[in-house]
Amino acid sequence: MYLNRKLTLLGSILGQRPVRCRQRPGARRARLTALCLSRPRRLSVCAVLRVDADLRWMRAGSVMRKVKSRTWKKQRYFRLQDDCATIWYKSEKAGNAHCTFSISDVETVREGHQSEVLLSIADEFPPDRCFTLVFRGRRGNLDLVAESAEEAQSWVRGMRKLIENLESMGEQEKLDQWICDWFKKADKNGDGRMNFKEVQDLLKMMNMDMNEHHAMRLFTLADKSESGTLEDDEFVLFYKLLTERPEVRRLFQQHSSDGHTLSLWDLEVFLREGQLEQENLREHAAELVLCYEPSDTAKTRQAMTIDGFLMYLGSPEGSVFNPSRKQLYQDMRQPLCHYFICSSHNTYLMENQLRGHSSVEGYIRALSRGCRCVEVDCWDGPNGEPIVYHGYTLTSKILFKDVVSVMGQYAFKASQYPVILSMENHCSVEQQRVLAHHLTCILGDKLLQNALEGRSVSGGLPSPEDLKGKILLKGKKIGGLGASVSAVGEDSPVVDPLTRVPRVPCVQSSNERLSKELSDCVVYCKSVRFSSFKHARIHSKFYEISSFTEFKELRRADFVHHNSRQLTRIYPSGFRTDSSNFNPQEMWSVGCQIVALNFQTAGVEMDLNDGLFGQNGRCGYVLKPLFMRSAEKQFDPEHPQMLDRSGPLTLTIQVISGQQLPKVNQKEGSIVDPLVRVELHGVPLDQAKLETHHIENNGFNPIWDETLKFTVHVPELALVRFVVEDYDKTSKNDFVGQFTLPFSCIQQGYRHIHLLSKDGTKIPPSSLFVHIRITQRT
């Protein structure tokens, strides 16, 4: 009954009559997909039915223009495949050649001329026919022009609903989808059945080297019809046998009083002893049964089956990252200098620092990831319009006004907290006035142009809460906070006797000229050159900010004290022409707020950045520890033992197993030999790395069952990075996946770690299963 209801729903979505259990070979595949996706989803039936017309249109296919530039516009045929999870497209010239991409690869859909490429053809095609598919990670966008506004809207609406549907899936549903995708790849003749040879090929594709005898045993157990092939329910059974989690079943049976279910009492014991929870255990146990148990019979008995147990452990509640720390949970009313701020360097660059492509897309991507400080390098451009590029290099150029326009559109989509626009100004006075004009006219009220009312000019920096919805310009300024150009005082400007143009005060170079209009756009982030900590303590104002290269050697304890009162920006060395990054942890450990990284470059540095700012609602602001916010406390990251506390902590991690790890080498027959490395990043005394042994030829369900121990002196500044690599005894190990999170956000107990790709995107259903315990070191 349930299957037929599901198939009826699927048929209504696709505009077809419902399919039944025994049909032609093509229908068998469709039914298998329905079986694998048969778990109820959060997306309501009504919500699905509302978009059936759009999905029908997408399944019928459309000829649209794929646009790469003003001169490159080619027609392609696009169609949503029957699985409603894949887009197929084909070139008219390519004969039978075609390409596909998964709906899960698409992060969002933009309507109209919301990309550089589509803006360049705005005079040819109206915005209601244009849309952009934005892919996850660092993959380039797909810009499309439909034949009609109606067609474009059908694709936009349909794609958004499909993306929403995928994002609403639980971990078990993602696993079901994953296994069905592999089935379709392995079923090479498309008959909806799998013989033993196809099963063997499937196992290798799925990163599993299973001996032939064991594979045949599972195949025979699943082949209930004894036909020598698997179809329909038989393949689902084979899949269940294949994905059996013996380590989870053992854990379940250890806590089950009757060996079949977990009673509320059993669950309460598990939460206390296994998950190391202490409060409201009975209430939590009842909530888990209600939330995750799929069996109505077990629910009535207030018990949990192995299926419910697996669903709980695979859910966000069973994740290593404490869900309560993913929400906005910190005090946002502290001064700006009391927060770490997610920051980007040379945001306009999509590639390297010498010949890389400059694009407004860099700002869109950074802001969409929660970045709250972006950089712009401004130079004189033709026709009186300032341009943005990396000066004295061969990087391409974009218009400053286009950058500001994008800032206005995207600054507050991911977070409502303030954005700092860090400006490197190389423009003439005349074009500086144009800069100011674009900032004030395009951004309007979003640009902070005056000190906040009711706040004294000597009262310290405002808070992120005070500055919600505001863009702050960081740059040179004539005079002090609230001072006019004609004012006389310690910050009064020097006037050039020939041009009568104000020069920047003595804290800056004496030959730099600045327009009053641009100067007036700077309020709380006045750029000044750093002289010394002693000079800063005596002379610096709270609204002044200094920038340092990563190589600047400064006494750490003095730096911590300085950063408790003022903002500091750190940027990569100019020698990093490949857009590589430095280790941001070293700068966070001395309290530097604005640690700017090249967002376009994946690697451990961006993993740490994403890990730190993955908490607190991904708002781009993380409150610094109290000992870094107080000017009275003397914290030295080189000597953390001086902190007034009971002693270091011990972090014990039992690395139990892995699930469905992605293939690294796509060569036929290649299977990973995975190992797990756990890295602790923090103050120098806390830096450590430990790893498991490697498992040969099993990326599908490897079991390590190894315990790693770490000592943590300053948990408030520590990040933990879990890395899976493909072991290679003759060369460097290949990266498989990783996950990074703040130590303070770890959930103890039996937890799943859902791995991310090198680009920081999800790769479901790949995960690690671990047990974590945090204790006071004795």
Between β-strands 674-681 and 719-726, what pairing exists: parallel, antiparallel or unpaired? antiparallel
- The DSSP code for 697 is T
Q: Where are the alpha helices (DSSP H) in 15-78?
A: 25-36, 45-50, 52-60
| Nearest-angstrom CA–CA distance, 59 and 40 | 23
Amino acid at 150: E
Q: Where are the alpha helices (DSSP H) in 460-539?
A: 516-519, 533-539
- DSSP assignment of 226-248 equals -SSEE-THHHHHHHHHHT--HHH
Go through the chain and tell me how many residues it has: 778
Q: Which two tokens stand for residue 273?
A: 């002893």
- The DSSP code for 208 is B
Q: What is the CA radius of gyration of the chain?
A: 29
Tokens 């890395």, residue?
723
The distance between the two most distant Cα atoms of the chain, rounded to a whole number of Å, is 99
| Nearest-angstrom CA–CA distance, 576 and 351 | 12
CA 451 to chain centre: 34
- DSSP assignment of 243-304 equals T--HHHHHHHHHH-SSSS-EEHHHHHHIIIIIS---SSHHHHHHHHHHHH---HHHHHTTEE
Tokens 């942890």, residue?
585
Per-position b or e across 52-75, b if 16+ CB within 10 A of its CB: bebbbbbbeebebbbbeeeeebee
Q: Report whether 357 contacts 389 (CB < 8 A).
A: no
Between β-strands 373-379 and 762-776, what pairing exists: parallel, antiparallel or unpaired? unpaired
| Nearest-angstrom CA–CA distance, 360 and 407 | 9
Q: Which two tokens stand for residue 551?
A: 């190589």
The C-alpha angle with vertex 291 and arms to 287 and 293, in degrees rounded to 5, equals 110
| Nearest-angstrom CA–CA distance, 378 and 397 | 10
Q: Report whether 15 contacts 56 (CB < 8 A).
A: yes
| Nearest-angstrom CA–CA distance, 302 and 537 | 64
Q: Which two tokens stand for residue 205?
A: 């594709």
Q: Which two tokens stand for residue 511?
A: 């030959």
Q: Is 690 left (phi over 0), alpha (psi -120 to 50) or beta?
A: beta
Phi, psi for residue 559 in degrees, rounded to 5: -65, -45
CB-based contacts of 628: which residues, under 8 Å, 6+ apart? 560, 563, 564, 591, 635
Q: Report whether 308 contacts 287 (CB < 8 A).
A: no
677 forms bridges with which residues in the sheet?
691, 723
Q: Report whether 516 contacts 485 (CB < 8 A).
A: yes
Nearest to 603 by CA among 757, 717, 753, 765: 757
| Nearest-angstrom CA–CA distance, 701 and 107 | 29
Q: Report whether 57 contacts 158 (CB < 8 A).
A: yes
Residues identified as active-site: 345, 390
Burial classification of residue 219, based on how many CB atoms lie within 10 Å of its CB (0-12 exposed, 13-18 middle, 19 or more buried):
buried
Between β-strands 194-195 and 229-230, what pairing exists: parallel, antiparallel or unpaired? antiparallel
CA 67 to chain centre: 27
- DSSP assignment of 150-164 equals HHHHHHHHHHHHHHH
Burial classification of residue 230, based on how many CB atoms lie within 10 Å of its CB (0-12 exposed, 13-18 middle, 19 or more buried):
buried
CB-based contacts of 605: which residues, under 8 Å, 6+ apart? 581, 582, 583, 584, 597
